[in-house]
Amino acid sequence: MSKSLQRVRQALLEAGMPDTTFEAGEARTAEQAAQACGCALDQIVKSIIFAGEGSGAVRLFLTAGGNRVCAGKASALAGEALVRADGQLVRDTTGFAIGGVSPVGHLTPSPIWMDPRLTEFATVWAAAGTPRHVFSIDPQVLMSLTKATLADFVE
C-alpha cells in the first residue's frame, strides 16, 4: 500500500470515520473518478492547490467536479493574489501528487475553502492519495473534518 493512501486511511480512522477508501481504477480526473464511482460529476471533490503570489503560502480549494475555481474570487478569499501551485509545491506541501491530492492527510495544514455545491449531495467522493484510489464521505462531515470554510469561489 502506498504511503499516501495509508496517510489518508489513517486520517479518516483518527477522525473516527470508517475507512471507505477503495481502488476505483483510473481516477486522475474528475470525469474518470465519476465514471469509476458511478456518481454525478459534481459529487467528485477536486482538491485544487493555489499559492500566494507574494507569500508562497498554500491554499486548498475543494470544489465540485464540474466547477472551476475563479482565480479572482479565490484570491479575494485568501487576501492576496494566487497562482496555481506547481507539482513540486503540491507534493512538498500535501505529500500527494497532482491527480491524487486528498482533502485529508496533508503533511502541512493549510487554509481550506469548500464549494457549496458539494453540500447538495448526501455523499461525495474524493481522491485518497493516489490517482487510482478514492473515498466516500458525507460532505458535511468532510467540511467539519477539514475545517473548511464554505465559500463562493467558482466561475
Domains of the chain: 3-150 (3.90.960.10)
Q: What is the pTM of this model?
A: 0.95
Q: How confident is the model at residue 138 (pLDDT cuts 50, 70, 90)?
A: very high
pLDDT tens per residue, range 38-59 = 999 999 999 999 999 999 999 9
Q: Report residue 61: phi and psi, to 5°.
A: -120, 120
pLDDT above 70 coverage of the chain, percent = 100
pLDDT at residue 120 greater than cutoff 80: yes
What are the C-alpha distances in Å from 93 to residues 26, 39, 108, 128, 143? 24, 29, 6, 16, 20
**What's CA 29's distance to the chain center, in Å?**
12
117 touches 64 (CB < 8 A): yes
